[in-house]
Amino acid sequence: MKRIVTLETRNLCESAKNGGCGECQTSCQSACKTSCGIANQACEKAAEKAESEK
Amino acid sequence: MVHQYKLNGYNIVIDTCSGSIHSVDEAAYDIIEMYKSHSADEIANVISEKYSISKEEVFECIEDVKSLEDMGKLYCPDNFEPLANTFKERSGDVVKALCLHVSHTCNLNCSYCFASQGKYHGDRALMSFEVGKQALDFLVANSGKRRNLEVDFFGGEPLMNWDVCKKLVEYARSIEKEHNKNFRFTLTTNGVLIDDDVIEFSNKEMSNVVLSLDGRKEIHDRFRVDFAGNGSFDKIVPKFQKFVQSRNNKNYYMRGTFTHANPDFMKDIDTMLDLGFTELSMEPVVCSPNDPSALTKEDKEIVMDQYEILAKKMIKRKKAGKPFTFYHYMIDLNGGPCIYKRISGCGSGTEYMAVTPWGDLYPCHQFVGDDAFKLGDVWKGVTNKDAQNEFRSCNVYSRPECADCWAKLWCSGGCAANAYHATGSVKGIYEDGCDLFKKRMECAIMIKIAELDN
């Protein structure tokens, strides 16, 4: 596309089918402790997959 | 839902429900804005005149927009609401993370402390090994099939009860294999008691350490003083530097708080960088609006501006081969959280709880000391089911204000404690916090787009 560049992002609709394992980090257990944001949480499944593909 | 904004020369389009992000030129930006409310001919007339491009080119771009819509990457409908409670229902009473308040006392006397100098508006106390051990047993027994269990040593100042922290780690390690669990420990400290033993043990056992430093010496020492009123900057900075270097400059956060005294927190970020720290977090103070350290409306404007300056600085430093991390700008677009996590919130009161030195359970560290929120204790488990259910039903869709918010799948509905303190309900929203959060996300996404240029 000439005028639009689409970044590669996780397909959220697709994640409804295979997500929800609950292994990811609890949001507040890291550096904030006073707010909530899950944007910076990594998916453990994705991390495991990346590790096994190494 | 589509959110469009311009920042640092980029035209950015976020499609909330698909999670798609597009970087577009000026004409496409306007076309996307008009697409749902105007005909193709109307769009072509306006855009071709405004940007001096042919109508054919406009039609071509409209086709591109349509194909993104067909692929579910633009104007994706929000079909997630029915999933909102399924994750927590499926998880049942599983607990996977505890914030262990091993010390309700502190060796600093910071007036802005949300935990009232570590006492949480109660008595000073240290957690005994027996209480901590029971908390770990409670966690293992209630963790179901979850393998990764998180335990944060928190306070007050946890190093004032360091021997118990060490014994608890040893105990957890002694039982994790037989239960097929993997404990991840973290330590949050003001640094005063860091010594070689703390460094050595933490580097072996703590997956992350959070070190409190507010930045500039005069800013840090304004609040972070001992009980005689002496600033702690000179005492802790060399310890932090030694600690961080010994961890190979990884797996830590230098965590600062900004208040009415330093809404211009970039100067504090600069100080942290000058001191050699690269994993940084700066958080707005959490306090009553009447507190002298509370951020004012004018401060908020400064803070919004500071976030942009920070983002630009990160891009520049990365290009120059001197990158640094800002906690709230960390987003993993490919490997980030699934939709269940995004809509169900932080898990406070359900999969995450705080434990007081006496073994009482609270939904999170920010509710400790408020009796109405006491959930139970580590021996009997959760007995206050009404309070727990209030947290269990917290999610993006339980907050009406979040319905039309483009950032809802990034913030997960926000912090229940902030909402409670701002509105009296854990299902409210903390508007100022929302505004800052949205600004941070806009900046974080802009950084990702800027990285494409490199």
Q: Is B352 an 8 Å CB contact of chain A?
A: yes
Give the chain A residue whose CA is nearest to the CA of B20: A9
* Interface contact A7-B333, CB threshold 8 A: yes
* Facing residue for B332 by CB, picked from A20, A29, A42: A42
Please answer whether residues B131 and B166 qualify as being in contact, where contact means their C-beta atoms are separated by less than 8 angstroms. Answer: no
Report the pLDDT value the prediction gives residue B91, as an integer from 0 to 100: 78
Residues of A in contact with B454 (CB under 8 A): none
* Interface contact A22-B96, CB threshold 8 A: yes
Is the per-residue pLDDT at A53 higher than 60? no
Token readout for B79 is 């079909």
List beta partners, residue B5: B12
Alpha helices for B277-345 (secondary structure H): 297-319, 339-344
Residues of A in contact with B337 (CB under 8 A): 24, 38-39, 41-43
* Interface contact A9-B72, CB threshold 8 A: no
Pairing between strand B360-362 and B376-377? antiparallel
* Interface contact B281-A32, CB threshold 8 A: yes
Residues of A in contact with B415 (CB under 8 A): 34-36
Report the pLDDT value the prediction gives residue B299, as an integer from 0 to 100: 97
Residues of B in contact with A50 (CB under 8 A): 335
Give the chain B residue whose CA is nearest to the CA of A46: B335
Token readout for B423 is 């509105």
Report the pLDDT value the prediction gives residue B401, as an integer from 0 to 100: 94
Q: Name the phi and psi angles at B147, rounded to 5.
A: -95, -45
Rg from Cα positions in chain A: 15
| A10-28 mean pLDDT | 85
> How far, in Å, CA of B236 to CA of B233, rounded?
5
Report the pLDDT value the prediction gives residue B302, as an integer from 0 to 100: 98
DSSP output for B365-399: GGGTT-GGG--EETTTEE--HHHHHHHHT-SGGG-
* Facing residue for A28 by CB, picked from B148, B346, B410: B346
Residues of A in contact with B413 (CB under 8 A): 36
Q: Which residue in B244, B341, B368, B435 has the most chain A C-beta atoms within 10 A of its own C-beta, making it the best mutation to test that interface?
A: B341
Local confidence pLDDT in tens for the 454 residues of chain B = 999 999 999 999 999 999 999 999 999 999 999 999 999 999 999 999 999 999 999 999 999 999 999 999 999 999 998 888 777 777 788 999 999 999 999 999 998 888 888 899 999 999 999 999 999 999 999 999 999 999 999 999 999 999 999 999 999 999 999 999 999 999 999 999 999 999 999 999 999 999 999 999 999 999 999 999 999 999 999 999 999 999 999 999 999 999 999 999 999 999 999 999 999 999 999 888 888 999 999 999 999 999 999 999 999 999 999 999 999 999 989 888 899 889 888 889 999 999 999 999 999 999 999 999 999 999 999 999 999 999 998 889 999 999 999 999 999 898 999 999 899 999 999 999 999 999 999 999 999 999 998 7
Is the per-residue pLDDT at A18 higher than 90? no
The mean pLDDT of chain A is 79
* Interface contact B346-A27, CB threshold 8 A: yes
Residues B306-332 pLDDT 10s: 999 999 999 999 999 999 999 999 998
Q: Is B335 an 8 Å CB contact of chain A?
A: yes
Give the chain A residue whose CA is nearest to the CA of B330: A40
From the list B277, B216, B274, the residue with the least C-alpha distance to B245 is B277
Q: Which residues contact B450 (CB under 8 A, 6 or more apart)?
A: B8, B10, B315
Taking the CA of residue A53 and the nearest CA in chain B, the distance in Å comes to: 14
Helix (H, G, I), strand (E, B) or coil at B354: strand
Residues of B in contact with A28 (CB under 8 A): 99, 346, 348, 352, 364-365
Token readout for B141 is 């027994």
Q: Which residue in B47, B339, B402, B427 has the most chain A C-beta atoms within 10 A of its own C-beta, making it the best mutation to test that interface?
A: B339
Report the pLDDT value the prediction gives residue B83, as an integer from 0 to 100: 87
**Which residue type is seen at B20?**
S
> What's the pLDDT band for A25 if we cut at 50, 70, 90?
confident
* Facing residue for B90 by CB, picked from A10, A20, A37: A20
* Facing residue for A7 by CB, picked from B21, B148, B253: B21
CA-to-CA dists, residue B134 to B93, B100, B283, B363, B378, angstroms: 18, 11, 32, 18, 6
Residues of A in contact with B83 (CB under 8 A): 16
Taking the CA of residue A54 and the nearest CA in chain B, the distance in Å comes to: 16
Please answer whether residues B285 and B421 qualify as being in contact, where contact means their C-beta atoms are separated by less than 8 angstroms. Answer: no
From the list B28, B444, B60, the residue with the least C-alpha distance to B11 is B28
Predicted complex ipTM: 0.90
* Interface contact A7-B351, CB threshold 8 A: no
Report the pLDDT value the prediction gives residue B202, as an integer from 0 to 100: 98
